[in-house]
């Protein structure tokens, strides 16, 4: 079966542009997570969905970050008015339920110039 | 709060053993271990539940000491394929629901 799929793999944007990152979780997985991973660091939690409900968005760093999962499957992480500090790898993970275990996608490497 | 992992990095010769530690300042519900190779997705290794337990498969095992809020990952007779960065994730329970937080990682390099 297919794993978690993220697109694009690489994204380069100019400061101030808006970007949208897509995550296609494993079919049937209820839970979906977004993480931000800086170089040499562990994944840092951004937000968590259970089906279409966003249960926790406490990790979103600012109101420029917005995530949605309207039909309980594919999710999009949107970053508005990007800043250089937004440069990182954005990881998506899904699980059957709750936090366990999580299956990660390969991530989107975002570079803001 | 982020769990603390030690050591930050370790270099081994093939066949040697290693221990990676993960400690938290909060009471833990569970501990998760993942391995990430450069440029790839983190891959799930195992979950340990509170109540204190030890798990393992192949030559990788882990223990969870609930009272000390610590977990250790044991890599025995390391293989080249064990190289990568190991992350522990600590799950805590709060009024707001459960939360999983990853440590900063331990970089493991196994040399021939």
User: pLDDT of B4-59, one tens digit each?
Assistant: 999 999 999 999 999 999 999 988 889 999 999 998 999 999 999 876 666 677 78
Within the 18-37 window of chain B, which residues sit less than 8 Å (CB to CB) from chain A?
30, 32, 34
Q: What is the mean pLDDT of residues A13-22?
A: 98
What tokens does B20 get? Answer: 């990676």
B41 → closest Cβ in A42, A44, A105: A105
Strands B60-65 and A65-68, how do they pair?
A: unpaired
* d(C-alpha A13, C-alpha A11), whole Å: 6
Q: Do B41 and A99 touch (CB under 8 A)?
A: no
Give the pLDDT confidence score for residue A19 in this predicted structure: 98
The nearest CA of chain B is from the CA of A53 a distance in Å of: 14
Could you tell me which residues come within 8 angstroms of residue B36 by beta carbon, excluding any fewer than 6 positions away?
B42, B43, B84, B85, B86, B87, B105
User: What would the pLDDT profile of A22-47 be if each residue is shown by its tens digit?
Assistant: 999 999 999 999 999 999 999 999 99
């Amino acid at each position: 079966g297919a794993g978690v799929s993220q697109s694009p793999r690489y994204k380069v944007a100019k400061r101030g542009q808006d970007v949208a990152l897509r995550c296609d979780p494993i079919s049937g997985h209820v839970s979906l997570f977004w993480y931000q991973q800086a170089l040499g660091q562990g994944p840092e939690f951004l937000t968590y969905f259970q089906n279409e409900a966003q249960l926790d968005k406490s990790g979103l760093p600012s109101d420029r970050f917005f995530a949605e999962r309207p039909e309980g499957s594919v999710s999009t992480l949107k970053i508005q008015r990007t800043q250089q500090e937004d440069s990182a790898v954005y990881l998506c993970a899904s699980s059957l339920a709750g936090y366990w275990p999580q299956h990660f996608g390969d991530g989107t490497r975002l570079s803001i110039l | 709060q982020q769990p603390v992992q030690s050591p930050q990095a370790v270099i081994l010769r093939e066949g040697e053993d290693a221990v990676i530690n993960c400690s938290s300042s909060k009471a833990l519900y569970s501990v998760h271990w993942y391995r990430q190779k450069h440029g790839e997705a983190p891959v799930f290794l195992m979950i340990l539940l509170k109540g204190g337990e030890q798990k393992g498969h192949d030559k990788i095992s882990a223990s969870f000491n609930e009272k000390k809020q610590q977990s250790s990952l044991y890599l025995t007779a390391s293989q080249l394929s064990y190289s990568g960065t190991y992350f522990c994730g600590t799950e805590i329970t709060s009024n707001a629901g459960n939360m999983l937080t990853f440590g900063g990682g331990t970089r493991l390099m196994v040399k021939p």
